[in-house]
Structure 1
């Protein structure tokens, strides 16, 4: 928002630097919203993003949307086939397996430290997320269930107090969110059951148990993904 300044007669009028700051804030907000849509699985592999449509939905001009999308292309979270063809990438099997391997270690560490550090409030928070996730899943609100799945995973890193790890996970989940979303319905209970074991281990203050449970969750969910057509076939790589 521009800052209104009343100038005395003959005074030099300085440029309104605050306009630029507001533009930067808007651009970052647009970037964060599109990134969130990827991380939470609101977008799926192969989905096409139309800049004008997104700008209209967000009530902005096309410029901050275009800038945000270009950042996400540079991050590898989106692919730009042409100026008008921007899509969520379809991961190849090898890239997916590499990301899964990294997640097993990093999210295992987050679960370990969460089990060591969790307060009663933290445990209550995890339990509430899981309850909401169960309800959304049971009622067929799969978009909400997918989003809550991501919230549960990230909550472990937050409870662990591992800010740098959470930032790395966010970058990985820019690619993983759409993949998990596409496979979630076919995965059924496999995509949520292991969260109960994670919560139980955190309640017991059992770091090894929490690590094993979240790794089992990632591995079993990964088997679902590998058994679907969510990933690119070798001929598409």
Structure 2
């Protein structure tokens, strides 16, 4: 087996924490410790410290004091800016995906939506949020837009923890528009797919703003 270098281990840890942030396994205001992450990942502190420093530079984590590193709580203004950017970028991804999607791609999207709905019904919020993220990223993958996908990764680093918390409080049908997008992809209706994705993001704004306010007052 090829030996893992210090640098490659640091990259692997960075990617793992990024994934946990994007999929909401880390929540807003959650405290992150080097020792805790090292123990959870079964590694030494040095590569974890390096990964945390990278995440601080990405604004995916914030350092409040020397010993206090946390998952940020987005302000309403920060969230709304990210939401507007996401609506444009992910709308474009959905539009392009509807043109590019094969039957296999459509089946993949449909499975994600069905599993997401099942997780929501069972109140498995962590799984539901993870499947939601997979659906959104799958559209950019199907659209064959790697630059856009990379940009989404940076946005979801900051949005993932917030969306995960919101998922467990939301009252709206979280996958209703996902069904519309899948149907649009199946028929090659690019404008409908784009509008469905934009609406999916926009309709959540009121509820997410309300959720942010509960975090700010905690």
Residue 155 of structure 2 aligns with which residue?
Answer: 172
CA contact (8 A) 2:75 2:212 kept: no
Tell me what 1:208 maps to.
191
User: Are the counterparts in 2 of residues 91 and 231 from structure 1 also a CA contact under 8 Å?
Assistant: no
1:104 aligns with 2:87: yes
- Which of the numbers 94, 108, 121 marks the counterpart of 1:138? 121
What are the equivalent positions in structure 2 for 1:4-153 lying under 5 Å apart? Answer: 22-153=5-136
Give the secondary-structure state (helix, strand or coil) at the position aligned to 2:20: helix
Indicate conservation of the 8 Å contact 1:92/1:231, yes or no. no
Larger radius of gyration: 1
**Whole-angstrom CA distance in 2 between matches of 1:145 and 1:231:** 22
- 2:50 and 2:172 map into 1 onto residues whose CA distance is 39
Distance 1:60 1:143, change over 3 A: same
- Partner Cα separation in structure 2 for residue 113 and residue 179 of structure 1: 27
Quote how far apart the aligned CAs of 1:229 are.
Answer: 3.5
Deviation at 1:168, TM superposition (A): 0.2
Q: Distance in 2 between matches of 1:131 and 1:189?
A: 16
Question: Under a length normalisation based on structure 2, what TM-score does the superposition of the two structures give?
Answer: 0.95
- 1:151-190 pair list within 5 angstroms: 151-190=134-173
What runs of 5+ residues in structure 2 fail to find an aligned partner?
Answer: none
Following superposition, the deviation at residue 82 of structure 1 comes to 2.1
> Structure 1 residue 225 and structure 2 residue 208: aligned?
yes
- Distance in 1 (CA, whole Å) between partners of 2:6 and 2:93 is 35
Q: 1 CA distance for matches of 2:193 and 2:107? A: 16
Alignment RMSD (CA, Å): 1.8
Distance, in Å, in 2 between the alignment partners of 1:93 and 1:179 is 11
| Paired residues of 1:44 and 1:179 also in contact (CA < 8 A) | yes
| 8 A Cα contact 1:129 1:152, kept in partner | yes
Q: Per the alignment, do residues 230 and 166 of structure 1 end up closer, same or farther by CA in structure 2, a change over 3 Å counting?
A: farther
Between Structure 1 and Structure 2, how many residues are aligned? 218
